Structures are given as C-alpha cells and as structure tokens.
Amino acid sequence: MSKFARTLSILIVAIMLGVALASCGTTPTEVPAEPVVEEPAPVAEETTEPEPTEPVETPLVVAYQDFSQKFSPFYANTAYDHDVANMTQIGMMTTDRVGAIVFNAIEGETRTYNGVDYFYNGVADLAVDYDEASDTTKYTAHLRDDLKFSDGEPVTADDVIFTYYTFLDPSYNGSTTLASYPIIGLRDYRTQTTTEVYDKYFQFFEDVYTAGVIANYGNDDFTTKYFNGAVWDEMSDGTKVAYAMRMWGFGKLFCTTEVAEGEEAIKVADCKDPVAFKTAGTETVYDLVETFPTMEDYLTEVMAVYENDIKAAFPYESTNEVDVFKDAQSAFIGEWGPKDEAMGGEGVANISGIKKIDEYTVEVTTKGYEAPAVYSILGISITPMHYYGDPEKYDYENNMFGFEFGDLSKQESLTATPMGAGPYKFIKYDNRVVYFEANPYYYRGCPKISEIQFRETASNEVVTAIETGAADAGEMSYNKTRYEEVMTYNGNGEMTGPVITSSLVDNLGYGYIGINASTVNVAGAPGSDASKNLRRALATVLAVYRDVAIDSYYGEAAAVINYPISNTSWAAPQPTDEGYKVAFSTDVNGEPIYTAEMTQEEKYVAAEQAALGFFEAAGFTVEDGKVTAAPEGAKLSYELIVPGDGIGDHPAFAIITGARDSLAKIGMELVINDPADANILWQSLDSGQQELWTAAWGSSIDPDMYQIYHSSNIVGLEGSTEDNHYHITDEELDQLIIDARKSDDQNFRKAVYKEALEKVIEWAVEIPTYQRKNVVIFSTERINIDTLTPDITTFWGWMNDLELVEMN
C-alpha cells in the first residue's frame, strides 16, 4: 500500500527533520564544540568534550515509498522527497516534542515532556516582535557562528538572504506559502513597481477592465496582420497603447486620408498603412508616427466614454474557478507599472522588509500580524548560496542576491541533487536507492553511522524486509495483517520484541478522498448548486463505507474523521463540540440519512437513495431508481485513482470498491485506477485533470489552511503553490482563511477554522477518511535501540538526533 503524503509546506518537514537534526558542528580534525546529547535528565552545566571517533561502516537501510526525485529544499513536494532533502539540510527553527518553538536555541532550553526533562538546542535564536504603533511584526533570526555546509563552506546570513530571495522570486513555483505573507516591500519587488505606482495602475486597470467594452476583437484584418509575437514585440509603447484602446473599443484606426475626410473605420486590407488613430471619447487623433496615446490618455478616454461612472458599467464576474480579472490585472500592472516615469527606469532593487543586520543576523518585517507566519518566515532551511546560486552574482550591499531576478534555472537544475549543512551528504540516487554519507562538518558532531540508504520498498514488504535484513527501519503500513506479522516474528505476541521494535504515535496528517471541482461539475460551473449536488452524491456513497473499511484495514490503529483536518491539531472539531456533524450524513433536504437503529447494509441502501436525490437536484435524469442521463458538462462515469501498488493495498480501497458497487446499482459508474506506480497519481494531480483520487495530507504544527484551500493556490495559476488540487474557489472561504491567520486568539481561530472546514464539506471536494497512527519499525537485532531518540511524538520524529544512532 502506497501512502504518499503531500506536505502542507516545506516548513514542517524542515522543523521535524532538518531542524530537529540540529545542534553542534565538527570537521574531520576538529574536536566537537559542546556536543549536545539528548538524555532524559536536566542539563545545567557544560558537557565534557569527547574524543572524536571514527564512524562505523555498517550502513543503515531505511525502507521508503517511491521517490519522485524532487530532492530539493525548494521544490520537493512529497513527504518522502522532503525526507531526502532534509537529510542534507538544517533549518533555522527548533521545536520540541509538543511542537512548541525553542526561541533560545543557541544556548538551548530544558523542557519537560512526559515527566522527563529534555534539553533542546539548534542553529539560531529567534524572536517575534509586534509593534502596535506601526502595525508591523519583526521576525529575527540570529545564527550561531560555527555552522558549515557539508563541503566545509561557512553558513552565514548571506545564505539565509539567498534562500529568502529564491522563495520570493516571482518565478518560483514550489510549495512554500512564504510569499502569501505581507512582507514589507515584497509586492513592490515581485512586480518591480513601487506601491504608489502599483496602486495607480491597479486602479487604472480596474477602471479599464470594468468598462467591459470589447470591440472588433478576433480574426479581423488588423489582428491577422499585426497581432503576432514578432510584430507585437517590435511595436512602440505608444502603438501598443493605441492597439489596446482599439481592442477595448476606445478608438478606431483610419487611413490618413480618411481621417481628413472623416469617414468610418476601414479594413486594413484597403489601406497600405493604418497610420492614424482616433479616440472614442475625446475624438483626439494620433498619427502613430510622431504622436501616440499614453496610458494617461487611455484613462482619460475611458473616463470620457463612461462619463466618470465606469464602475456602473458591466461588472466582471469570474467563471470556471479562474479569476480572469485578477490574472489580467496582474499581467497589466507587471507590463506597464515598471515603465512608469515615476519608476525612473530603475525598478525595485530589493525587498525592503528583509534585512541583513550582520554576518549572522537577518530580520524580516511584515505588515500586521498573522499567527502562522512565524513557521513560514523563520521555519526555512538554510540553503548554500554558493551551490544553488552564483557567488559572482551575490553582493548584498549592491542588491545582488545570487541569481538574476526572475531566473531560478540554477536552483531548478539541482532539484535531484541536494546539498546543505544537515547530518548527511547526498551521494546519489541509483536503482531506486538514495545513498547518503555522514557529514563531517555537521554542527552536532559527525554522525555515528557513516552511510545511510533510503531504499524504495513496497509498503506490504517492509516488515519482511526488516525481518530478513533487507532493511533496518521503515514506516509500516499499520493494518491488522501487518500487526500480526510483526507479532509472529517477535514470537511474544507484542509489537516490540527480539526481532522488531515498534514506535506508534498519532500521525501528523490524515487520509482523504478528493474530488476535483474543475472536472466534476455541471455546465462548467464548479461552484454552482448543481455541481455541489453532483459531488455530494458521490461523496455520500463514499462516506458511508468509511467505518467498516477503516476498521477492517487498521483496527485500533486508526479512526474515521469527519472534518478535513488532522485530529492531532488543536483546531480539529471534536464529537463533543456543539454543531459537530458526521460528514455527508444528510440528504438533499438537509435531513439525516441514517438512524441509530440501522444495520450497516441498511445504511448502504439509505446512502444510495440519498445519492439519487442529490443527482436529481444536480440535473441528472432519474428513472425507476436509476440515473439514466447526465446534464451538460456532467457524466455517468467518473474515474478514481488510488495508489494501491496495483494490488489494492490501500486503506481506502474497500471504501472505493464498496462505493463502486453501490453507484452501479443506481446507474453510475466509478472506474477504479490502481496504478503500480504512485507517481501516476501525482502527475495527474499536477496536470489538474484528475477527477477523484485518494491520498493523505501531511499537516503542519499550525492549522493554516491557506496553502491547500485558498483559491490563489489552484493548480496551474501563476504564482500558485499548486496544492489546491480540489480547484475550490470560494470568496467566503478565502476570507475565513485570512481572518484566522490574523488572530493569535486560539479560541477565535478554532471557531473560524470550523466554519472554513464546513465550507470545504459544503463544496464536497474532500471526503475525510481516517486519522492513523504512525508506525515506524526497527530491527532490534541490527540497530542499537537505546541510541534512538526517546519519547518519539507526533511532532518529534525518530530521525531527530539521528547523528547519535548506532548499529549493533
């Protein structure tokens, strides 16, 4: 069973792996400086300096699910690829066993968990300061001064600056949400337009576009003759303005003689050179040789045509989930803003809210306050500028940041070969195995194990691989069959014994079934009631099979959830909360579908009948208890992709097969696509063409919903994180997400998030399925279990303190 999980952000993996792998650097010949060994006891004084030891040669082999070879700290987008990247990285943020930030990480802090004191330290001291007077928040990171990358180069504030500018470049298309926060000067830099000029053209475009008059747009003579890339590029700015005005109906082209005669617009074919242009409002004539309209002239014409009341003319409404207005507006501002005279031809050289204070200190200032921002702003990995960028192009004082503005080709070219200051160096990916070697410069000391391998292994073979010695550790697909398999190998009826040691904690994430609103809708309108009812019909039938399927697969190791959020989050609605509802348990009239007295079989029948009601409300033809015809844009057959290794090994597989059979009874077909290679699913999601699918989300410490559900992050949109695979676009949902971000009141945020989660359910684009336990198993025989980090939690993974792990 392949349980790929796309992470909510690079941040959380950096925190849980790269960051937590953090605390004290050495070289092959240096003595470690204050090595920190995490023991379950208070640390009050400095530890003695141990003699450096030679790493042992026995490799640690970890069984892993399939990789997609995006091993970059910038571009990794599956949990497994992130794990590879973060073996090589360090992050600025350190968190403890409950996910709380350790702000004084250089000196370190002792915190109690489960009655035991643990000492935490890391690579940087962090600070967050909100100033009410200016309504700004300052985020500060001060690095320790002894950090080195795995090639021996020092880690400095310049590397942090480079990392920020990579994430914030307008051409960046990775999964971080860093650019969604109001960093001072960020918009100016990304648009190369100052706020004053930006606002000018923002309003300018809104006025022009809202006018909504498109005249002669299409395959007329002028368009055919002149509107192609080569000719357009050769046009002067003034000619382009005239052309744009003509296409929007604010002017007409004439031959010179016909202007004099006052005749109407002519066909270009009848005139050798359309050298004159007359505006529609003021009837000003430009010869397009010596005189041209300007942008200000354009606005004047608009105002003249609509008598200064263009707001009342043809308001634009977005359709088919893409806000064409915003896209066009952005392109317009990006084209004309930087050319404004007020810009002086200089553009915007830097992001004013990001400052290098000294060789090891960086500050980031944002407008206002947003609760999740600290995790994105201070939770980054520190990437080596000299590797991912060009040192010749870095000069902070002269606004050079390691690459040309808008060109991340160097960073992209190294996606498959990560490098950083983490505990291990990436060597290669070969024959489905990732090879790592110990980093002798790692600041917590050279790792005890000299070589680690991440070996791709089918999920149903992990237990056998550890028992036979093909692997030493791995995440187990925790179901009843695997559970019994481990206990059999141990011979003691327990999950931990002489052969295999198991670690079970709640997984920071959850399983779900997704529905793409862009491909599963009626009449091409994803947000219509009809489209929602279509998806509700499918979701209702899928949801009724969850209880039996999840219990059968996981037993006590998982539970069904009813909201699209991990139960590990403080924001997750609980059954005891007021207004808590079972997902998709009401019919088209809002009445309960099920009663407490119903048997499971009776519930299946009830779900089928409820689905018919939703289908009929969606415009489907329903006759004699079956769907016989679909409305425009909808179908009688949909595909669901499930990454079950081609053999149905997936916790949701029984849900899907049960739903398929129920839907068949009422005239609908659910086609199950179970590819042997899970990358087929990810490729489909990336293309935005999938209909239904099943996967799992990895969650973050903060329950911010922006990356997954905000309309700006729909797959395919420019500047998007491309994680909104549901293609949900809802202004109310967007506002709820932003409102929750801006408060530090947890009770308020929880209430707002509940509204937002209910909005997702209303759209019926996600069926929450299960919250499972994370089960990592180790070879008791080959790994020194006593050297694993103690008290593994949801927020503190087994790879924390990885440099201390030893083989037997």
Report the DSSP beta bridge partners of residue 513.
Answer: 694, 767
Least confident of 154-168, 221-235, 781-795: 221-235
Q: How confident is the model at residue 178 (pLDDT cuts 50, 70, 90)?
A: very high
pLDDT value of position 679: 85
Instruction: Kindly report the length of the chain.
Output: 808
Q: How confident is the model at residue 201 (pLDDT cuts 50, 70, 90)?
A: low
Q: Distance (Å, rounded) from C-alpha 291 to C-alpha 294?
A: 10
Nearest to 608 by CA among 596, 625, 623: 625
Q: How confident is the model at residue 53 (pLDDT cuts 50, 70, 90)?
A: low
Q: What is the mean pLDDT of the chain?
A: 83
pLDDT value of position 30: 32
More confident residue, 656 or 260: 656
Contact yes or no for 413/20 (Cβ under 8 A): no
Q: Is the pLDDT of residue 524 over 50?
A: yes
Average pLDDT over residues 399-427: 97
Least confident of 10-14, 395-399, 587-591, 778-782: 10-14
Contact yes or no for 695/6 (Cβ under 8 A): yes
Q: Distance (Å, rounded) from C-alpha 269 to C-alpha 113?
A: 82
Nearest to 667 by CA among 703, 638, 689, 647: 638
Average pLDDT over residues 189-199: 79
Average pLDDT over residues 402-418: 96
Contact partners, residue 498, CB within 8 Å, separation at least 6 = 490, 491, 492, 780, 781
pLDDT value of position 54: 53
More confident residue, 671 or 21: 671
pLDDT value of position 422: 98
More confident residue, 249 or 505: 505
Q: How confident is the model at residue 480 (pLDDT cuts 50, 70, 90)?
A: confident
Q: Is the pLDDT of residue 219 over 80?
A: no
Contact yes or no for 789/116 (Cβ under 8 A): no
Average pLDDT over residues 265-276: 52
Least confident of 139-148, 228-237, 408-417, 667-676: 228-237
Q: What is the pLDDT of residues 620-647, one digit of tens each?
A: 999 999 999 999 999 999 999 999 989 9
Exposed / middle / buried, residue 134 (Cβ in 10 Å: 0-12, 13-18, 19+): exposed
Nearest to 489 by CA among 778, 773, 775: 778
Q: Is the pLDDT of residue 140 over 70?
A: yes
pLDDT value of position 301: 77
Q: For the whole prediction, is pTM greater than 0.85?
A: no
Average pLDDT over residues 591-619: 97
Average pLDDT over residues 315-340: 50
E strand or H helix at 239: helix 237-247
Q: What is the pLDDT of residues 104-118, one digit of tens each?
A: 999 999 999 999 999
Q: How confident is the model at residue 443 (pLDDT cuts 50, 70, 90)?
A: very high
More confident residue, 484 or 281: 484
pLDDT value of position 334: 60
DSSP class of 101 = B
Q: Is the pLDDT of residue 387 over 80?
A: yes
More confident residue, 245 or 106: 106
pLDDT value of position 29: 32
More confident residue, 720 or 143: 143
Q: How confident is the model at residue 32 (pLDDT cuts 50, 70, 90)?
A: very low
Q: How confident is the model at residue 297 (pLDDT cuts 50, 70, 90)?
A: confident
Average pLDDT over residues 579-586: 96
Percent of the chain with pLDDT over 90: 62
More confident residue, 470 or 304: 470
Q: Is the pLDDT of residue 590 over 80?
A: yes
More confident residue, 309 or 536: 536
Average pLDDT over residues 312-325: 41
pLDDT value of position 273: 54
Longest dimension (CA), the chain: 103
Contact partners, residue 55, CB within 8 Å, separation at least 6 = 438, 446, 447, 448, 449, 450
Average pLDDT over residues 494-504: 95
Exposed / middle / buried, residue 90 (Cβ in 10 Å: 0-12, 13-18, 19+): buried
> Residue 580: left if φ>0, alpha if ψ -120 to 50, beta else—which one?
beta
Least confident of 203-212, 224-233, 480-489: 224-233
